């Protein structure tokens, strides 16, 4: 983030902006987008976790004709209590840490199969060859969806994510179309699993019940789409960004090889240093103040996780990538009632992938000095391609 490498300028420019804003206008109303930008750690943590004041449900605050009707809007990500609590409880029954832990050997197998394809070559594209196919395969298997549809998944989640980056008519249309395809696809899968339950997450979700209540079809689809979209791109970027961090800070690959215990810490530090999710939106329920600014009821706020995670007030030497940082209370997975439900899965996948790379790609790693382009998205941070070489 604080590198002066010209090849990385395009990638890291926003970090200069965050720093400047934290220092000069930490709570800033942007006339262009009619929203508040929140940059400091304490403020971002509050906006994310004070759900009584800051709502996640956009549809409470916009006129009917502007309501978001995408499947995500009926997912827990966009819900407030009490419905959020009920639904989160329901989906947590199906998506348990135990279920995730059971995936471990399968995640290792998939990772190993992917590295088999590149190991002898001495070079790979980290995104194309590992960081993208791994999470999409895992989530497809977890949901019980045939992997043949993997390419469709990629296209759907890309269209979704880029729809939030550029408000061009084209990008928005692609996003709407992708949403339609996903709803159609999951409606069919749900019907099949209703008739013939399997040992998979979709069947478990269909059966999950709290206080005699079940998920509606709309909510089920919303959750499946959320898993697919929220769970893929983010995990891809965690692994890609971790490799970027290691490349920018020589010596760490060797330290990790010598001390594998540090792998989970290094990944937490990557989540802090190059956060895969840059920001989350909230809507003010009532009038309130942040710092010396008055926020009106109904106003939109962007909580800049990426900026909070490099705030010196919380992280001493915030611009140092330190794989032994302790404590590391980063906000990469959010904070409060919406804290990432997929965090155990993302952490497990990234740990397995990075450990397998350390085992199988010997010598020092090198990212060639080509300009790296950030993916186009308002909320996701990562690179499109990430070439890597090692000693054969």
The reply on whether position 230 binds ligand HEM by CB under 6 A is yes
Q: How many residues bind ligand HEM (CB under 6 A)?
A: 25
Stretch near ligand HEM under the rule CB under 6 A, chosen from 8-16, 17-25, 156-164, 272-280: 272-280
Contact map string, positions 312 to 331, toward ligand HEM, x by CB under 6 A: --------------------
| Total residues belonging to the chain | 392
Q: Could you say which residues in the range 64-93 bind ligand HEM, by CB under 6 A? A: 76-77, 88
Q: Is 38 one of the binding residues for ligand HEM (CB under 6 A)?
A: no
Contact between 139 and ligand HEM by CB under 6 A: the answer reads yes
- Among 3-11, 12-20, 112-120, 274-282, the segment contacting ligand HEM (CB under 6 A): 274-282
Torsion sign over Cα 231, 236, 241, 247: positive
225 binds ligand HEM (CB under 6 A): no
Selected range binding ligand HEM among 103-111, 210-218, 336-344, 360-368, rule: CB under 6 A? 336-344
Sign, CA torsion 26/313/52/206? positive
Is 48 a residue that touches ligand HEM (CB under 6 A)? yes
Shortest spacing between CB 336 and ligand HEM, in angstroms = 7
Note whether 126 binds ligand HEM by CB under 6 A. Answer: no
Q: How far apart are CA 56 and CA 68, in angstroms?
A: 12
The nearer residue to ligand HEM, 163 or 332, going by C-beta atoms, is 332
221 contributes a contact to ligand HEM by CB under 6 A: no
Binding range to ligand HEM, per CB under 6 A, among 122-130, 249-257, 337-345, 383-391:
337-345
Beta-carbon count within 10 A of 169 CB: 8
Please, which residues bridge with residue 279 across strands?
A: 304
Residue with tokens 């008739």: 195
Within the chain, strands assigned E span 27-30, 35-38, 54-55, 123-125, 279-284, 288-290, 293-295, 300-304, 387-389
Partnered with residue 55 across adjacent β-strands are: 283
Instruction: Tell me if 332 contacts ligand HEM by CB under 6 A.
Output: yes
Q: What contacts 60, CB < 8 A, 6 or more positions away? A: 80, 283, 285
Nearest to 161 by CA among 170, 147, 171, 169: 171
CA-nearest of 35, 36, 31, 34 to 290 is: 36
Give the nearer residue to ligand HEM in terms of CB position, either 51 or 390.
Answer: 51
35-38 sheet: strands from edge to edge:
27-30, 35-38, 300-304, 279-284, 54-55
Reduce the DSSP state of residue 362 to 3 states and report it.
coil
134 binds ligand HEM, rule: CB under 6 A:
no
Give the residue, chosen from 39, 185, 321, 333, that forms a contact with ligand HEM under the rule CB under 6 A.
333
**Taking the complex as a whole, how short is the minimal distance between the CB of residue 232 and ligand HEM, in angstroms?**
8
Site residues (CB under 6 A) for ligand HEM?
48, 56, 76-77, 88, 139, 226-227, 230-231, 234-235, 238, 276-277, 280, 332-334, 338, 340-342, 345-346
């Amino acid at each position: 983030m604080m590198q002066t490498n010209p090849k990385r300028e395009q990638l890291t420019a926003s970090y200069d902006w965050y720093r400047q804003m934290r220092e000069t206008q930490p709570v800033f109303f942007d006339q262009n987008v009619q929203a508040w930008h929140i940059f400091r750690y304490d403020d971002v943590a509050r906006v994310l976790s004070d759900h009584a004041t800051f709502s996640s449900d956009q549809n409470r605050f916009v006129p009917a004709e502007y309501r978001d009707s995408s499947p995500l809007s009926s997912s827990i990500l966009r819900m407030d209590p009490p419905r959020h609590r009920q639904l989160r409880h329901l989906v947590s029954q199906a998506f348990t840490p135990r279920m995730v832990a059971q995936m471990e050997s399968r995640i290792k197998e998939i990772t190993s199969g992917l590295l088999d394809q590149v190991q002898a070559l001495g070079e790979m594209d980290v995104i194309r060859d590992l960081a993208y196919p791994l999470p999409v395969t895992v989530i497809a298997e977890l949901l019980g969806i045939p992997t043949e549809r993997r390419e469709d998944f990629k296209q759907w989640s890309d269209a979704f994510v880029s729809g939030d980056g550029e408000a061009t008519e084209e990008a928005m249309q692609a996003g709407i179309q992708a949403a339609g395809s996903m709803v159609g696809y999951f409606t069919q899968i749900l019907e099949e699993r209703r008739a013939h339950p399997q040992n998979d997450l979709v069947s478990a979700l269909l059966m999950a019940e709290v206080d005699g209540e079940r998920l509606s079809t709309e909510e089920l689809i919303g959750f499946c789409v959320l898993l697919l979209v929220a769970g893929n791109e983010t995990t891809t970027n965690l692994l890609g960004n971790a490799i970027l961090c290691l490349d920018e800070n020589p010596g760490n690959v060797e330290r990790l090889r010598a001390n594998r215990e540090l792998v989970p810490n290094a990944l937490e530090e990557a989540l802090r240093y190059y956060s895969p999710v840059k920001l989350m939106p909230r809507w003010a329920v009532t009038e309130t103040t942040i710092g010396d600014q008055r926020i009106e009821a109904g106003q939109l706020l962007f909580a800049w996780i990426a900026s909070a995670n490099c705030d010196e007030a919380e992280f001493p030497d915030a611009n140092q990538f330190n794989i032994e940082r302790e404590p590391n209370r980063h906000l990469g997975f959010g904070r409060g009632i919406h804290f990432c439900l997929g965090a155990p899965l993302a952490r497990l996948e990234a740990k397995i992938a990075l450990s397998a790379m350390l085992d199988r790609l010997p010598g020092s790693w090198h990212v060639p000095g080509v300009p790296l382009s950030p993916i186009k998205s308002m909320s996701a941070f990562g690179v499109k391609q990430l070439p890597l070489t090692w000693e054969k």
